[in-house]
Each structure stands twice: as C-alpha cells, then as structure tokens.
Amino acid sequence: MDTGKEKTSLSNFMVVVGNTASLRYLNLNDATPEYVSWLNDPEINQYTESRFIVHTKESVEDFISKTCNDSNHAFAIIDNESGLHIGNIKIGNINSQHLYADIGLIIGNKNFWGKGVATEAIKMCIDFAFNQLKLHRLYAGIYDKNIGSIKAFEKAGFICEGKERKKCLFEGEWTDTYIYGIINENIQ
C-alpha cells in the first residue's frame, strides 16, 4: 500500500489511494439504487445490524447524513480500475479521551468478494486512524460465522482479543461474536 499518495479530503476526492482500491468520504451522491440494493440483499447484509430493516434511498441518505460527523469517518471504497463504488468502511464512535474507535465494513459488490479488497480497505483505515487521527486502538466485532471478515481483519494485522458468547441472533440461533483489535504501537 502506497500511503504516500494521500490527497486532501473533500467528499468527492480520495483520502487514501491504495493499489487496487481507494477511500473517499461517503456523501449523499452515493445513495444510489445499487447501494440500496446491497443493504436489502440478504447475502450481502447477513452479518450487519442493518439487515433488520428494509432500506430506501431516503434511509441511506439519512444514514450518510448521520454518520458523517466528528465521531465517525465513513468512506466509500472505490475500485481503482473501474471507478465503481463497491463498498463502505467506517471508523466510528471515536473516543477522544482514550483514543480508540470501532471499524466496520461492507463489500456490497459481490464481484469484489474474495479479491483482497476488504483487507486493503482495512489497512488503509488503519493507516488513516493511526497516522491522521492519532488513535491508539481500533476494534471490530465479528460474528463467528463471518469467515470472510475474520480472514480480512487477520490479514490486516488485527488479533482476536476475545469472544462474546451467544451475543447475537443469527438465523434463529444465538451466535458468538469475536472482538478483534489492533494497537498503534507508536503511541505510548
């Protein structure tokens, strides 16, 4: 990942440019029919908390408006070759006293599943969180059945720090959630 290609961030400009994908701030223009369809696709959203509601253009616009604030950095994941918006990743709930935040992502375009895009997006967010935001720690909660996310976070350097037993209902059964974390060793 070449983070030397970082650019000034406005909602339509890339914040971090990677090898195959880039990140830019999510904006209201991203509330497209394709994005709405990701959130309503049971296969794509099966491990997200947004799966419990039917999404519309208006609900996506509302989410974007509420998510883009001081305690969150919500990014569109853009495929470098095609320029397509293929997913989202968010650094959220930033705690400014203890310098930690959570991270979550969705790869909505199934053509990009299993191609390393999630890992690259996670690495770009780590770099942004640690070097731009000066955070000490990032963490993610991942359903135990979400093998793709587990692999992506582990490849990006996250470590499993614990398990919350039978925390969430998934397909009618209680499922465990793993807590993954990564520490910025450059902050003492």
What is the model's pLDDT at position 6? 37
Amino acid identity at 62:
D
What is the model's pLDDT at position 123? 97
Q: Is pLDDT at 4 greater than 50 in this prediction?
A: no
- Tens digit of pLDDT for each residue in 127-158? 999 999 999 999 999 999 999 999 999 999 99
Look-up of token digits 């890992």: 119
Instruction: Give the dihedral sign, CA 12/62/120/78.
Output: negative
- Tens digit of pLDDT for each residue in 58-86? 989 988 888 877 678 999 999 999 999 99
Under 8 Å between Cβ of 35 and 50: no
Q: Which of 168, 21, 9 is nearest to 108 (CA)?
A: 21
- Can you tell me the mean pLDDT for 114-138? 96
- Can you tell me the mean pLDDT for 85-103? 95
What is the spatial distance between Cα 124 and Cα 132, in angstroms, rounded to a whole number? 11
- Considering only 40-44, 92-96, 181-185, which range has the smallest mean pLDDT? 40-44
According to the CATH classification, is domain 3-183 in 3.40.630.30? yes
Q: What is the mean pLDDT of the chain?
A: 88
**What's the pLDDT band for 47 if we cut at 50, 70, 90?**
confident
Q: Which of 159, 137, 170 is nearest to 178 (CA)?
A: 159
* Structure tokens that stand for 158 in this block: 């996250």
**Per-residue CA distances from 15 to 18, 43, 61, 107 (Å):** 10, 29, 21, 18
Q: Is pLDDT at 1 greater than 50 in this prediction?
A: no
What is the model's pLDDT at position 2? 39
- Tens digit of pLDDT for each residue in 159-185? 999 999 999 888 889 999 999 999 999
- Can you tell me the mean pLDDT for 32-40? 92
Q: Is pLDDT at 117 greater than 50 in this prediction?
A: yes
- Considering only 31-45, 59-73, 81-95, which range has the smallest mean pLDDT? 59-73
Residue 180's CB: how many other CB atoms inside 10 A? 22
CA atoms within 13 A on the CB side of 164: 12
* Structure tokens that stand for 51 in this block: 């799966």
Q: What are the E-state strand segments in the chain?
A: 14-17, 21-25, 73-79, 85-95, 100-107, 137-143, 159-170, 173-183
What is the spatial distance between Cα 17 and Cα 65, in angstroms, rounded to a whole number? 24
